[in-house]
Each structure stands twice: as structure tokens, then as C-alpha cells.
Amino acid sequence: MVADFGINREIRDAVRDHPIAIDLFSGVGGLSLGLEAAGFHVAVDVEIEDISGRYAQHNFPLSKVLSGETLGDVKNIDGSALRRHANVRTRGEIALVAGGPPCQGFSIAGKKTGVDPLNDLVDDFARIVLDARPLAFLMENVPGITTQGSKKLAACVRELRKEYDVADPEVLCAWHFGVPQTRRRVFIVGFRKDLGVTPSLPQPTHEAPNQNIALFDVSPTAWEAISDIPHVDRYVRLISGDRVPYEIEPLHEYQRMLRSDPIGAFSGVIPRSWDPSLCTNLRRTRHGDALLKTFEGLRFGQADPVSGIRRLHPHELATTIRAGTTKARGSWSAPRPLHPFQNRVLTTRECARIQSFPDWFLFHPIKWHGNRMVGNAVPPLLARAVGRHILQILGLRAQPNFNGATLIRDDSLVQSDIEAAQNSDYHKRSISQKVTSWSNRRTA
């Protein structure tokens, strides 16, 4: 039974069968996947980085992905363009415009500069929302936007409040919605004033492991998220390749959900074409002897002070998966967590598991690209929880009826990357070399 929040019936009926969402600054599509799982049709993704846009198009065959420095620049987008690309009927409605403007200038882990030109993209988000006039909007960002970016955010919210009832910014914890990670994000949600509803965000449904709170489900631990992933150091082919058969059956409900055709939280997602016998994005990292020795001495939860690499505790939540930077910003690669039991950093697929991406979701085979795609994404399970709450307020119910359909993905979009990765010498750049560089800078 869908709760009745008093929304205008004519408006609700206009989008009942196809609540359309637009994802700005979409990256590879973590927010898009969560919104699809909630019941939205994500008609348009907008992403300025061409590589992430190609993988979004591969993973979302039914979406129109506008990518690259021209099509994917939100400064070139307005409401009429979004309606045209979304194929919205003349009298139809866009249900939701969502997105996370780039956060480097606001991030606690970043430079924290108020003059970063990317910070101005929150203004473009507000401009597009006011022009497109969706029923609702959703903005997500790092918690730092409420401190480092407080003036910029306040100005953005003031503009949006001209036509939208806007809830105060709220920090949501990923683990409160079934994501096995200590990730926090700020969400701001607003609903068009003519709807006459009160904006809000979802209440937690999960608690961290070992909390013993009877009212909540328990989020998976780091080990429960990844324990069925193949042991990559056993495979020479994973030095240049990135996929091998699964070695064991899933051991945990969370693993079954991410390996099976859409079930559980992802039951609203149309199945994609993929080979469920193969685990992808497993390219190995070859560490030097000195770093391996350091790893051997790290206990559960302990971090190496030089590289910042921390060994995951198998029975606790994973630490936040971070992204690093683009080439334009120095190609800085964020340190990935260390495997709980093996002396290596996590693979892209293991990071994706911790972000709650299903295994059919494909990332770039080269680790630097793939890991950035994962780290930049909104965890899909977190996005799903927020999306479902918005649909509930709008009085819309997802009614998936796939009739056994499977979406065939266009492999030509990614095949050249796979071939290039296999033929490149990228794998020769080990983290031990990066750690040496960090150490040299410290002692210079």
C-alpha cells in the first residue's frame, strides 16, 4: 500500500506508468542504478568525462547518455534539452532531476578550496532544476559541502526554494541502508510547491555489525561482502586480464543478491546480458617486496602511515572507497583498502562489492580508471533507499513487468578498452612505486 501524501492526482497520473528521472553528473551510474532499482526510468545521464559516459551507456542501454566535454557539460544543458532527450510527452512530467555536482573543493579528503571552479556547478544544478521543473529534485554531495561549501550551498538552496519545498541538508550513512561501508553523504531533497507535500529523507533500515539493535537489519561486514571473490594472486592471467570463473558459490545473502539475476533490492532492475560464471574487474596489483613486508605486519584495521593503506577488519564495515582525481587534476590514485587476509589491495570488483554494485555492472579494466569510477559513485543501495522514499511521497509505485526480458548491452563500447588493457604495460606500475614516491616526498 503506497502512502497518500496528498499529491495532486492529475500530476500523479501524468507520470504513474513511467516516473522519469534525469541523472546529472552521473559518472558511471551508481545513483542511476539505485534510482532504477527504486522504480524510476532513468531516461538521461549527463557526464562530462567521456570514459565514464561510455561505461554508463554500456550498463544502461535504455538511457540516453550525454557524455564528453560538449554534450556532457551541464553548462550546455537546459530544461527543454532534457525533455527532448528524455522523450517526455508535451504534457508529461519529469518526476526527478538528481545529481551530485563534483565535490573536490568541498571534500574533507580533498583540497578544501572555496575557489575551485567546480564548486560553481551547484549553481548549474539549481538552474537546470528550475528550468526543467521536475516534480522533485535530489542533490547529493560530500559532508564537507555543509562547511567548506556552506555559502555556495546556501545560495543554491535559496534559489531552489523559490519554487520548491526543500528539506534541510541531511547526512545519510551508507551502512544504515545495507551498504557494508563507513561512507557518509549529504542529501538535499525538494518537491515542487504545487504538490503540497513535506520533503523528507528515508529513515535507517540497517545498523552496523555488532550493534545488536533488534529493530534493524544488519549491514554486511567487509568479509561478507567479498569472501566469494576469486583469489586473484593464483591467476597469472589477471596480471593483464581482468576476469576468471568464480571459484565458489555465494556464501551470504548479500553475495547472492549481487551475483544473481536481479533479486532482493535489485528486483526492480531489468536483467542485463552477462556471463554469471565469470567474475570481472579482477586485474591484479603487483606489490614490491618492501610493501609486501609492510602489509604482512598490518593487523585488522591498522593503516600503513606512509601509503595510508589500511587492512580491512573482516567482521566490521569496510572503510570508505575513495576515488582519486582525473588526469586534469594530477592523476592522483586514492589508496585502496588492504584485503583482510591477503597481502594485496582490493581489486576493482571487491571495491564495487563494498559500494553495493552487482557483479554484472562493468567498469573499465584498467585499475586507475575502474577504481575511480567505483569511488566516485553513489552506492546503489543507498540511492535506492532515497529513490523509493521519493516515489512514496509522490504517490508512485514501481510495477516492474519484464516478462523475462534481458537488456542486451553493446559490447563494442568497451571492447577496445579490454583489448588495450591486455596489451598495455600498465600493470607494471605497482603501488610499491607510488609508495616510494610518497616516501621520497616526505623526506625531501
The residue type found at 424 is S
Give the burial class of 334: count Cβ atoms within 10 A of its Cβ; 0-12 exposed, 13-18 middle, 19 or more buried.
middle
Active-site option among 103, 156, 279, 351? 103
Using CA atoms, how far apart are residues 281 and 348, in angstroms rounded to an integer?
Answer: 6
Using CA atoms, how far apart are residues 20 and 42, in angstroms rounded to an integer?
Answer: 6
DSSP string for 276-343 = TTEE---------HHHHHHHHTPPTT-B-TTT--BBPPTTSPBPPP-----GGGT-PPPPPPBPSSSS
Which long-range CB contacts under 8 A does 397-406 form with residues at least 24 apart?
A: 397/2, 397/39, 398/19, 398/38, 398/39, 398/40, 398/268, 399/39, 400/39, 400/267, 400/268, 400/270, 402/270, 402/271, 405/270, 405/271, 406/270, 406/271, 406/272, 406/273
Taking alpha carbons only, the member of 269, 349, 342 closest to residue 300 is 342
Using CA atoms, how far apart are residues 167 and 221, in angstroms rounded to an integer?
Answer: 32
The residue type found at 278 is L
Say if residues 130 and 159 touch (Cβ distance below 8 Å).
yes
Extract the C-alpha cell encoding 353. Answer: 562489492
Active site residue 103: yes
Catalytic positions, written as ranges: 103
